[in-house]
């Protein structure tokens, strides 16, 4: 009797869940159907939606509602708190499944090769995001002694970092931030935050809504230097062709011509400043050196040789995320991706049998949710084509109970979709007395206990 197509997805963030959704919406979902298991190293699902979105942006977290509907389907199981490859390897996965899709995303910081990057007070934005989002595998405290802070980059992550640094702890208390994060932010001494971009306003990668939200805080005065409002032919073409770029530039123009107000925390948006060195003394950050740039006619910039040193005591680089190498898979260290053709993993010019990628590990950390869905659709279409044409391997033990027995025999304290419901309830119960939607549980052990027990856990 034919059995369902068995697919393992490693990574239960949006990319992995969209791949599962694409499988369920395909013709293969009809008899005998598909059976999908998602493996996630965190005890909870949702990836960067849970651990990469700033806590004061609950509207973005609304994406979880749609992802929840997918994960609740009976053809899908979640195995959280399972690490690849220490808990389950590629060979193990191929023993239990017809195909394996990796959707492990990108949560490390891309390197920035300038002198002084190693100094105390020099931080990666991704590390800071993990801290304020309550990631279980990072330290519980964060150094926030600097009164003047630099943020390098002009994307939404840079805005998130700058906004969290510039807001007061009390502004953020109504969100889901855990107690250790609130306590850290109470001690935050930052009064000035400087965001630096090497190109101009038309080239900034902010989304218009995220940019405008900076100005909504009663404690943050957003300041733009009128001298930084400049466009060349390439910039004008970008504004005409890209509605979002035009909206961003218009917002920055309006801020550049207004009077500076009296809000206590100042957030400066600087353009045409290319970081060249983080200045140190006694092993700590004491400044940032930049080179003034100018437009070259195409929207790109070139250096002017004019240097400036900024008085800051901490620097955050928000120059992009980077995926980590996955054991047993080829890896392109330059792009931070797994080599592939349409999602089929390629090694030595050949497709790695029954092995696929989707999301940021496939294309790099660029694009929005729509791109992630498109990625998943392409990968799943090629996987199903390989299935139809008998190009997939045959698992030795495809029975759905086999992987459960394997994990239990290894003593892996995995969590489940039902367990997520219990953890979700526990976090909401912690927030209820304070009128908050939830208070995020941080410690991994506490998350696992809340997921695997019926009692509310407080840690």
For residue 1, pLDDT beyond 70: no
Distance CA 325, CA 94 (A): 19
Mapped to the 3 state alphabet, what secondary structure does 398-444 carry? Answer: CCHHHHHHHHHHCCCCCECHHHHHHHHHHHHHHHHHHCCCCCCCCCH
Fold topology of 108-320: FAD/NAD(P)-binding domain (3.50.50)
Helix axes 125-132, 156-166, angle to 10 degrees: 60
* Cis amide linkage into residue 17, ω under 30° from 0: no
Tens digit of each residue's pLDDT (9 = 90 or more) over 246-282: 999 999 999 999 999 999 999 999 999 999 999 999 9
Q: Which has the closest alpha carbon to 137: 126, 153, 152, 151?
A: 126
Secondary structure class of 231 (helix, strand, coil) = coil
The percent of residues in the chain predicted with pLDDT above 70, rounded, is: 97
Q: Which of 106, 109, 96 is nearest to 401 (CA)?
A: 96
Cβ 100 vs Cβ 8: under 8 Å = yes
Long-range contacts of 30-35 (CB under 8 A, 24+ apart): 31/2, 32/1, 32/2, 32/3, 32/4, 32/5, 33/4, 33/5, 33/75, 34/4, 34/5, 34/6, 34/7, 34/75, 35/4, 35/5, 35/6, 35/7, 35/75, 35/400
Q: Which helix (H) or strand (E) holds 194?
A: strand 192-196
CB 127 within 8 A of CB 381: no
pTM for this model (two decimals): 0.94
**To which CATH superfamily is domain 5-106+323-414 assigned?**
NAD(P)-binding Rossmann-like Domain (3.40.50.720)
First to last CA, the chain: 49
Tally of CB atoms within 10 A around 72: 11
What integer pLDDT is reported at residue 85 of this predicted model? Answer: 96
Name the residue with tokens 């390439």: 234
Q: What is the pLDDT of residue 457?
A: 41
More confident residue, 301 or 30: 301
Residue 369 has pLDDT above 80, yes or no: no
26-83 pLDDT per residue, tens: 998 898 999 999 999 999 999 999 999 999 987 776 788 899 999 999 999 999 999 9
pLDDT confidence band for 458 (50 / 70 / 90): very low
Instruction: Tell me how crowded residue 17 is: count the other CB atoms within 10 A of its CB.
Output: 32
Q: How would DSSP label each residue in 86-151?
A: TTS-HHHHHHH-SEEEE-----EEPP--STTTTSBTEEEHHHHHHHHTT-TTS-S------SEEEE
What CA–CA distance (Å, rounded) separates 386 from 243? 40
Domain extents in the chain = 5-106+323-414, 108-320
> Does residue 279 sit in helix, strand or coil?
strand
Neighbouring residues of 346: CB distance < 8 A, sequence distance ≥ 6: 330, 339, 340, 352
pLDDT at 459 over 60: no
**Which pLDDT score is estimated for 24?**
97
Neighbours of 338 (CB within 10 A): 24
The reported pLDDT for the residue numbered 94 is 98
> Cβ–Cβ contacts within 10 Å for residue 124, how many?
21
Q: Which of 194, 270, 193 is nearest to 226 (CA)?
A: 270
Alpha helices (runs of H) in 323-409, residue ranges in sequence order: 360-363, 369-388, 400-409
- Looking at the predicted structure, is the pLDDT value of residue 444 above 50? yes
Three-state DSSP at 326 gives coil
Strand ranges inside 250-343, DSSP E: 265-270, 273-281, 284-295, 301-310, 314-317, 321-322, 340-341
User: Mean pLDDT, to the nearest integer, of 349-353?
Assistant: 95
* CA gap 205, 359 in Å, rounded: 20
Which pLDDT score, from 0 to 100, does residue 136 have? Answer: 96
Residue scoring higher pLDDT (64 or 229): 229
Percentage of the chain lying above the pLDDT 90 cut: 92
Half-sphere exposure (Cβ direction) of 390: Cα atoms closer than 13 Å: 0
Strand partners, 295: 301
DSSP β-ladder status, 220-224 and 265-270: parallel
Choice between 67 and 367, residue whose per-residue pLDDT is larger = 67
Confidence of residue 456 (pLDDT cuts 50, 70, 90): very low
Output the average pLDDT for the chain: 95
Q: Residue 368 — pLDDT band, cuts 50, 70, 90?
A: low
Q: Sort strands 321-322 and 108-109 into parallel, antiparallel or unpaired.
A: antiparallel
Torsions phi, psi for 411 (to 5 deg): 75, 25
């Amino acid at each position: 009797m034919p059995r369902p197509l068995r697919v393992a997805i490693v990574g239960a963030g949006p990319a992995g869940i969209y791949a599962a959704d694409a499988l369920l919406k395909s013709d293969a979902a009809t008899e005998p159907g598909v059976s999908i298991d998602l493996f996630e190293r965190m005890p909870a699902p949702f990836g960067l939606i849970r651990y990469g979105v700033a806590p004061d942006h609950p509207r973005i977290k609304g994406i979880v509602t749609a992802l929840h509907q997918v994960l609740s389907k009976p053809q899908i199981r979640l195995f959280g708190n399972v690490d690849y490859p220490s808990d389950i390897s590629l060979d193990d996965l191929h023993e239990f499944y017809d195909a394996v899709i990796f959707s492990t995303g990108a949560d490390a910081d891309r390197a920035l090769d300038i002198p002084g990057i190693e100094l105390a007070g020099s931080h990666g934005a991704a590390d800071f995001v993990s801290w304020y989002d309550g990631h279980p595998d990072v330290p519980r405290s964060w150094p926030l002694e600097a009164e003047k802070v630099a943020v390098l980059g002009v994307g939404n992550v840079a805005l998130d970092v700058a906004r969290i640094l510039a807001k007061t702890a009390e502004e953020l208390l109504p969100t889901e931030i855990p107690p250790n994060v609130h306590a850290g932010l109470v001690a935050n001494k930052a009064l000035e935050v400087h965001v630096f971009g090497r190109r101009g306003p038309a080239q900034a990668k902010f989304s218009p809504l995220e940019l405008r939200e900076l100005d909504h805080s009663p404690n943050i005065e957003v300041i733009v230097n009128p001298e930084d409002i400049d466009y060349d032919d390439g910039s004008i073409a970008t504004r005409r062709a890209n509605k979002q770029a035009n909206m961003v530039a218009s917002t920055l123009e309006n801020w550049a011509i207004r009077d500076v107000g009296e809000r206590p925390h100042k957030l400066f948006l600087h353009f045409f400043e290319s970081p060249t060195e983080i200045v140190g003394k006694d092993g700590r950050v004491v400044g940032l050196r930049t080179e003034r740039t100018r437009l070259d006619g195409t929207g790109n910039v070139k250096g002017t040789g004019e240097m400036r040193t900024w008085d800051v005591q901490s620097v955050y680089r928000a120059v992009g995320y980077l995926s980590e190498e996955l054991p047993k898979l080829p890896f392109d260290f330059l792009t931070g991706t797994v080599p592939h053709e349409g999602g089929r993993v390629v090694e030595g010019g050949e497709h790695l049998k029954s092995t696929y990628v989707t999301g940021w590990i496939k294309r790099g950390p660029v694009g929005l949710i729509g791109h992630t869905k498109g990625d998943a659709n392409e990968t799943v279409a090629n996987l199903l084509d390989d299935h139809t044409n008998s190009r997939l391997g045959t698992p030795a033990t495809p029975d759905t109970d086999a992987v459960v027995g394997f994990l239990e025999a290894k003593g892996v304290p995995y969590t489940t979709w039902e367990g997520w419901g219990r953890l979700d309830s526990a976090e909401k119960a912690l927030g209820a007395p304070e009128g908050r939607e939830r208070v995020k549980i941080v410690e991994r052990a506490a998350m696992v206990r809340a997921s695997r027990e019926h009692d509310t856990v407080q840690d």
